[in-house]
Structure 1
Amino acid sequence: MRVYAWLLLPTVLLLPLGAWSGEIIGGWAAKPHSRPYMAFLSRETSTDTKMCGGFLVRKDFVLTAAHCAEGDITVLLGAHNMSKRERSQQVIPARAKIPHPEYDEETYNNDIMLLQLRRKAKLTRWVKTIPLPCADETVQPGAKCSVAGWGWTSADNEQSSDTLQEVDVEVMPEAACWSTPNGPHENYDPSTMLCAGDPDEGKNPSKGDSGGPLVCGRKAQGIVSYDFNDETQPVVYTRVSTFIPWIHEMMKKLQP
């Protein structure tokens, strides 16, 4: 049975406070379909519907955060305005969820998950993959990157956005997220995480829906992992380059 994207919207856009993971604060509306790799994940649990972001890395695989694993996941590709029945949209259920085996739900270390799609996405001008970095590729502090999502546009209310929002952020020095006893980033691990934000301009550290990509130089260098709803704190991202061997191994193992 085909599930139309617009049928998912009422339950997703009316989620209660706390059901969303991350949001675009201080950003702007993205040019429609300018990020054709973006994926919207609808997560049906026994009690409610939640959401996450993600991004298409192969016709049959979406990359997202491991903490987005709860529920039955349906992937929406090619979307811009979630309140409309766009002809660009493709709705594909997830066949398998493959969170990293060493994901730690307390520290958010290794917060990465592959979703195998039930069928291959059709690549169009609205649906495309995004390149991944090379293994152990580094992103230097000061690098200009961007994130996007459909989440709340203010940390003070529950208002989400119908249209995809985006914002520019800067990769921060490791010291900005370095471990401090009992501090907000006490579990920060620079080998598996990236630190990025723009607190000086009042942009909330929750720059994109959890699981969405941190895009630097047209590559997905990070995955939105966690934040603190505090404009003075940057966001922590999963460092994608660390997990390239694992990603390739899993996609090879799960060949259709």
Structure 2
Amino acid sequence: MALHNTWVVLMLVLSLRGQVQTGEIIGGRPAVPYSRPYMVLLEMRMSKDKSRLCDGFLISDKFVVTAAHCQARTYDVFVGLHKFKNDPPPKAIQVSRAIPHEDFNNKTKINDLMLLQLSEKVNFTDHVRPINLASQGDHLPQRCIVSGWGSTSEDNQGMASELREVNVTLVNPPLSAVPHVYFSLGEIGPSQGDSGGPLVCDCEVAYGVVSCGTKDLKVYTKIPDYLGWIEGHIRKK
């Protein structure tokens, strides 16, 4: 499919269905244990006692970045996690304040970004450490990786037993009218289940947040465009 047509299909899907969320690592590999110490697993309590999972990532000892469409009634935050199913999980940390972007649009997923302020400080170790955020700039990063605990194929909707990762290559947007996002083409990459994880590029710097997509196109909220928003809310703590 041509690049322009792929983007048009994505916009139609996002506008009409409004629930295209991404996250499972398709075509990836197991991550080296604890090699992504900034990764966070979010267990979200929804209405009527339902729960679901998203990813996030530490940017300080009190704040996690994730996607705005990962909003919930309450959260259990797990840091220092590698295996999801077999090992006893670490102690859950609660969220004292959720800060979704005020202009987030749940239908189009524009401004799909949220900060979570933790109720207690995280103790940094070899297995738990924040990641730096990309500063302002318009260059297209190279050598990017996405990590997550989502399922490993479109047919398998269960969570992976351990953290997985996949390399993705970003491409220039065909339409200048679509602001504040990066995207990659192809089936390999994130898909259903692991929204909110980091797009990590150029020597372990977080450039984006896994947001939404289709089978052939994945979209990431562009962190450099929101750096002022993030820093402003952190200063308000």
TM range (shorter): 0.7 to 0.9
From 70, 80, 85, the counterpart of 1:68: 70
Matched residue SS, 2:227: helix
Match for residue 162 of structure 2? 163
**AA partner of residue 76 (structure 2):** T
TM-score w.r.t. the length of structure 1 is 0.79
**Alpha-carbon distance, 1:207 to partner:** 8.4
User: How many residues end up aligned between the 2 structures?
Assistant: 217
Aligned pairs (5 A) from 1:126-205: 126-134=127-135, 136-140=136-140, 143-175=142-174, 178=175, 189=178, 191-197=179-185, 199=186, 202-204=187-189
Distance change >3 Å, CA 251–CA 221, structure 1 → 2: same
Report matched runs for 1:203-214 at 5 Å. 203-204=188-189, 206=191, 209-214=194-199
CA contact (8 A) 2:21 2:191 kept: no
Alignment of 1:99-114 (within 5 A): 99-114=100-115
Relative to structure 2, which stretch is displaced further, 156-165 or 30-39? Answer: 156-165
Contact 2:54–2:193 (CA under 8 A) maintained in structure 1: no
Shift of 1:139: 3.8
Amino acid in structure 2 at the alignment position of 1:57:
I
Instruction: Show structure 1 runs of 5+ residues with no match.
Output: 1-17, 180-187
Alpha-carbon contact 2:31-2:164 (below 8 Å) kept? yes
**Residues 204-243 of structure 1 mapped to structure 2, 5 A cutoff:** 204=189, 206=191, 209-217=194-202, 218-228=204-214, 230=215, 233-243=216-226
CA contact (8 A) 1:147 1:213 kept: yes
TM-score, reference length from structure 2: 0.85
Report the aligned-residue RMSD. 2.1
Contact 2:20 2:213 in 1 (8 A): no
**2:31 corresponds to which letter in structure 1?**
A
**3-state DSSP class of the match of 1:250?**
helix
| Paired position in structure 2 for 1:11 | none
Could you tell me which residue of structure 1 aligns to residue 11 of structure 2? Answer: none
Greater RCO between the two (CA within 8 Å, min separation 6)?
Answer: 2
Cα–Cα, structure 1 residues 38 and 162, in superposed 2: closer, same or farther, change >3 Å? same
Name the % identity: 38
Letter in 2 for 1:76: F
Q: Secondary structure in 1 aligned to 2:235?
A: helix
